[in-house]
C-alpha cells in the first residue's frame, strides 16, 4: 500500500518553504562583519554604499548617480557586502586570476556578485590633488603581506574604456605590515594611510589597489575613480559624503573649510538617527551630524536608548558603547564642518531598533 502524505502536512510544508523564500528576498542581508575596503578615495562599491545605503530604493538615484543605480539594480549585496570584494588562492598571480575588463570585480569573484563594478560609464569621481593619501580600512585586522597602489596611465579614460592590466602604473607600495602597525588603530578595525604622488596629472583616472591580506591567501581588489586637478584632496561636498574624502590624514582636514586658515571657533551641532535596514537580530543605523550657524572643528554624538546596546560594526566615526549609550566622535577626515554643513556615520547593532535620545556637542 503506497504511503500517503497527509494534505495538512503538505500545505504546512509549502507555507514554510514560501515563507523562507520570501524572507530571503524581502530583507537585505547584513554587511560582512569583517574584511575591508578603500574608504578614501572611495572605491566603487563602498562609495555606492556610503551615498545610498540608507536610501537604496530612492528613485532619484537613477538620475543623480546612474552608475551606482545600475550596481544596486544588478546586485544589492555588492554594496551591503562592501568589505568582501576578494579572491582566495591567487598565490600572487593577480593577472593570471583576473582577466582584462574584470579588474574592478576581482574577476567576477563570488559568482559575479560584484560584476557591475566593471560597468563602463561616468562613475562618481573623487577630486584629488597630485599628492593625496589613500585610506585602506581593515575591519578584521588581517594585516598585510603587501599593498600595491596603481594609477591608470594618462591615456586611459575610465568613462569610455574597460580597465586592463596594461593601463596601470605602480605608484606606491607597502610591505609586510601586521595590523598592530597600521597607521590608525580604531575601535572597529585598523586603517593604513598610504601617501600617493602622481605629479603633473590632471583629469579623470582610476586608482587600483591590491591588498594581500596576511591571515591566508586572500587578495582584495578595489577601483577608485578620481579626478586630478583639485587644489586639495577633499571637495566642498566632502562633509556631506565622507566616503569621497580622499585622505584620513590630519593634513587634509583644514581643506574641507575655506575659512580654516585662521582658527575656526566651534559652534553648535545637531544629530538625527535613521534606520537604514534591519533583519533578524540586528539593524543598521545612519546618523547625520549637522553644524549650526557656525563652523565646527569636531563633534561628539551620544545616543541614549532604553536598554543596553551592542554595536557590531561602525564606520566614519569612532564608536564606543556604555550600557544603554552609544558614543561616537568624528573621524580624522569628517570633523570639520562649515556652518550648516553635514556628514554621516553609521553602525550595525544587535537587537531591534528603537528611538534614542540624541545629543550632539561641538569639540
Question: What's the pLDDT tens digit per position in 298-314?
Answer: 999 999 999 988 888 77
Cell numbers that stand for 300 in this block: 561628539
> If we measure between CA atoms, which residue out of 147, 116, 36 comes closest to residue 84?
36
C-alpha cell at 132: 593625496
What is the percentage of the chain residues whose pLDDT exceeds 70? 80
Encode pLDDT of 239-266 as tens digits. 223 333 333 333 333 333 333 333 334 4
The confidence band for 152, taking pLDDT boundaries of 50, 70 and 90, is: very high
Judge contact between 183 and 193, C-beta under 8 A.
Answer: yes
Burial environment of residue 311 by CB neighbours within 10 A (0 to 12, 13 to 18, 19 or more):
middle
113-117, 195-199, 344-348: lowest mean pLDDT where?
344-348
Residue 191: give the domain boundaries.
36-240
Whether residues 207 and 347 fall in one domain: no
Q: Is residue 292 part of a domain?
A: yes
* Domain count within the chain: 2
Rg (CA), the chain: 22
pLDDT of residue 319: 85
Residues 211, 277, single domain; the answer is no
Question: Confidence class of residue 228 from pLDDT cuts 50, 70 and 90?
Answer: very high
Last residue of a domain, one of 240, 257, 288: 240
Q: What is the CATH number of the domain that holds 356?
A: 2.60.40.290
CATH value at residue 112: 2.70.50.50
Average pLDDT value over all residues in the chain: 82
Which string of b and e fits 94-116 if b means at least 16 CB within 10 Å?
beebbeeebbbbbbbbbeebbbb
Q: Where does the pLDDT of residue 118 fall: very low under 50, low under 70, confident under 90, or very high at 90 and above? A: very high
**Residue 34: band (very low, low, confident or very high) from pLDDT cuts 50, 70, 90:** low
Is there a single domain that holds both residue 60 and residue 198? yes
Evaluate the CA torsion angle 17, 19, 22, 27 in order and state its sign.
negative
- The pLDDT tens digits for 65-105 are 999 999 999 999 999 999 999 999 999 999 999 999 999 99
In a domain, 29, yes or no: no
Confidence of residue 186 (pLDDT cuts 50, 70, 90): confident
Residue 255 lies in a domain: no
Q: What is the pTM of this model?
A: 0.59
Amino acid at each position: 500500500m503506497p504511503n500517503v502524505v497527509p494534505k495538512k502536512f503538505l500545505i504546512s510544508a509549502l507555507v514554510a518553504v514560501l515563507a523562507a523564500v520570501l524572507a530571503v528576498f524581502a530583507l537585505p542581508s547584513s554587511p560582512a562583519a569583517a574584511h575591508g575596503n578603500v574608504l578614501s578615495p572611495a572605491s566603487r562599491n563602498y562609495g555606492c554604499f556610503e551615498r545610498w545605503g540608507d536610501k537604496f530604493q530612492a528613485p532619484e538615484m537613477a538620475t543623480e548617480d546612474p552608475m551606482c543605480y545600475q550596481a544596486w539594480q544588478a546586485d544589492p549585496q555588492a554594496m551591503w557586502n562592501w568589505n568582501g570584494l576578494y579572491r582566495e588562492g591567487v598565490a600572487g598571480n593577480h593577472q593570471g586570476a583576473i582577466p582584462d575588463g574584470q579588474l574592478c570585480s576581482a574577476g567576477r569573484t563570488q559568482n559575479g556578485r560584484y560584476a557591475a563594478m566593471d560597468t563602463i560609464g561616468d562613475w562618481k569621481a573623487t577630486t584629488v590633488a597630485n599628492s593625496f593619501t589613500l585610506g585602506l580600512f581593515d575591519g578584521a585586522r588581517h594585516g598585510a603581506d603587501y599593498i600595491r597602489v596603481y594609477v591608470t596611465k594618462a591615456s586611459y579614460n575610465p568613462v569610455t574604456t574597460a580597465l586592463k592590466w596594461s593601463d596601470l602604473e605602480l605608484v606606491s607600495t607597502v610591505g609586510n605590515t601586521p595590523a598592530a602597525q597600521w597607521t590608525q588603530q580604531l575601535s572597529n578595525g585598523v586603517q593604513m594611510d598610504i601617501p600617493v604622488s602622481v605629479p603633473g596629472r590632471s583629469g579623470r583616472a582610476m586608482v587600483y589597489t591590491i591588498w594581500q591580506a596576511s591571515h591566508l591567501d586572500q587578495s582584495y581588489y578595489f577601483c577608485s575613480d578620481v579626478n586630478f586637478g583639485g587644489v586639495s584632496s577633499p571637495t566642498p561636498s566632502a562633509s556631506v559624503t565622507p566616503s569621497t574624502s580622499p585622505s584620513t590624514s590630519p593634513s587634509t582636514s583644514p581643506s574641507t573649510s575655506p575659512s580654516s586658515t585662521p582658527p575656526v571657533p566651534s559652534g553648535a551641532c545637531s544629530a538625527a538617527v535613521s534606520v537604514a535596514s534591519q533583519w533578524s537580530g540586528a539593524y543598521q543605523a545612519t546618523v547625520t551630524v549637522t553644524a549650526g550657524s557656525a563652523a565646527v572643528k569636531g563633534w561628539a554624538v551620544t545616543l541614549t536608548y532604553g536598554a543596553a546596546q551592542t554595536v557590531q560594526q561602525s564606520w566614519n566615526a569612532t564608536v564606543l558603547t556604555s550600557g544603554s549609550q552609544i558614543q561616537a566622535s568624528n573621524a580624522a577626515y569628517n570633523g570639520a564642518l562649515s556652518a550648516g554643513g553635514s556628514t554621516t556615520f553609521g553602525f550595525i547593532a544587535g537587537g531591534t531598533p528603537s528611538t534614542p535620545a540624541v545629543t550632539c556637542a561641538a569639540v
